[in-house]
Amino acid sequence: MLLENRLAFITGGGRGIGRAIALAFAAEGASIVVAARTRAEIDKVASEVVNQFGVESLAVECDVANAESVLSAFSDLKEKFGRGPDIVVNNAGIAETALFVNTDEALWECHLNINLGGTFRCTHAGLPEMIERGWGRIINIASIAGKTGAPYVSAYAASKHGVLGLTRSLALEVAAQGITVNAICPGYVETEMTSRGIENIVEKTGKSADEALKMLERMSPQNRLVTPEEVAALAVLLASEDGRGINGQAINVDGGTVLF
């Protein structure tokens, strides 16, 4: 198993991509800390990994937008496991659409604070012990919107571009200390986030849900959405010992939509 004796802290782990990563890591033997705001969702995933794979798990309520909440989640996990995580997956995120002229302070602030600030806070909380131990993995779930622009997503794209800047800089800072820092950049993935995007397109354009879905599918040369499990498979490689040479990268899982 690729992740035996590893402890992974996964934000936004209650559903979607985060849940798929929790299951894929547990299948490789990792103990799992599921951190998000919705108690019912995190409890469910924490039980799933125990029941399916017999690993240890903990569900901790955590709002990554709030520094105290992140520190309290880390203190809870240290109490249970007696140490900090080997792997931090910064997956929690939000995506709202708006014309730039309608992007107010609140919309701007929450994207920066959750998507980029959350990545900063959880990495900051987990890194010192990784440095002490001489081994660690930071995996940031960014987006192809971290590499390109698109109309209506200036706040989201700015936050994800920021995640790539953090990833690349920190990767170089800790490269000689047994730690890798990488980002995964998915295209449209079959999750609630994309379902909400489809509802939004329906509401704003009058297209049917099926037409809206087909429009998103056509953005990929493979003419399909990515599955959460495909994103999780790459996260397993990045988290594993086999992935130790991959550092500072922003790897697309998008069927070839973006070629850089």
Which tokens hold the place of 50?
Answer: 């125990």
Q: Is 188 a catalytic residue?
A: no
Give the footprint of ligand NAD on this chain (CB under 6 A).
11-12, 14-18, 36-38, 62-65, 91-95, 114, 141, 143, 186, 188-189, 191-194
Q: Which of 25, 74, 156, 188 is catalytic?
A: 156
Q: Could you please report the per-residue DSSP string of the chain?
A: -TTTT-EEEEETTTSHHHHHHHHHHHHTT-EEEEEES-HHHHHHHHHHHHHHH---EEEEE--TT-HHHHHHHHHHHHHHHSS--SEEEE---------GGG--HHHHHHHIIIIIHHHHHHHHHHHHHHHHHT-EEEEEE--GGGTS--TT-HHHHHHHHHHHHHHHHHHHHHGGGTEEEEEEEE-SBSSHHHHHHHHHHHHHH---HHHHHHHHHHTSTTSSPBPHHHHHHHHHHHHSGGGTT--S-EEEESTTS---
Q: How far is the CB of 52 from ligand NAD (least distance, A)?
A: 19
Nearer to ligand NAD among residue 131 and residue 193 (C-beta): 193
Residue position matching structure tokens 């002229």: 101
Nearer to ligand NAD among residue 32 and residue 92 (C-beta): 92
Residue position matching structure tokens 């081994």: 135
Q: How far is the CB of 231 from ligand NAD (least distance, A)?
A: 8
Nearer to ligand NAD among residue 27 and residue 193 (C-beta): 193
Nearer to ligand NAD among residue 5 and residue 216 (C-beta): 216
Nearer to ligand NAD among residue 45 and residue 55 (C-beta): 45
Q: How far is the CB of 149 from ligand NAD (least distance, A)?
A: 14
Q: How far is the CB of 241 from ligand NAD (least distance, A)?
A: 25
Q: How far is the CB of 196 from ligand NAD (least distance, A)?
A: 7
Catalytic residues: 156
